Amino acid sequence: MAVLTTHTMAGPWIIDHGPSTLAKFNSLDTPFPIIFSHASFLSPADAALLRKHNHYVSITPESEMHYGHGHPNTPFIQDQSALGIDSAFTFSADIVTQARIWLQATRRKFFMRTLEGWKIPSNNPMTVNQAFLLATRNGGLALRRDDLGVIKVGAKADLVVFDGLSPNMLGWSDPVAAIILHSNVGDVMDVMVDGEWRKRDGKLVVSHNRAEVEERFLQSAKRIQKVWEDAAVPTLKGEFMAGVHYAPTEVQSVVRGSR
Torsion of the alpha carbons at 201, 206, 210 and 216, rounded to the nearest 10: -130
Of the pLDDT bands very low, low, confident and very high (cuts 50, 70, 90), residue 209 is confident
User: Is 157-205 in the same CATH topology as 4-151?
Assistant: no
Name the CA radius of gyration of the chain, rounded.
21
pLDDT in tens, 92-104: 999 999 999 999 9
d(CA 29, CA 54): 9
| Domains in the chain: boundaries | 4-151, 157-205
**pLDDT (0 to 100) of residue 39:** 94
Whole-Å CA distances, 38 to 18, 75, 86, 218? 10, 12, 9, 30
Task: Give the percent of the chain with pLDDT over 70.
Answer: 100
Whole-Å CA distances, 156 to 148, 149, 152, 195? 6, 8, 9, 7
The answer to whether residue 208 scores a pLDDT higher than 90 is no
pLDDT in tens, 119-175: 999 999 999 999 999 999 999 999 999 999 999 999 999 999 999 999 999 999 999
**pLDDT (0 to 100) of residue 12:** 92
Give me the architecture of the 4-151 domain, per CATH: Alpha-Beta Barrel (3.20)
Backbone angles phi, psi at 135, to 5 degrees: -85, -15
Q: In this structure, which topology does domain 157-205 adopt according to CATH?
A: Urease, subunit C; domain 1 (2.30.40)
pLDDT in tens, 14-53: 888 999 999 999 999 999 999 999 999 999 999 999 999 9
Average pLDDT over residues 4-8: 94
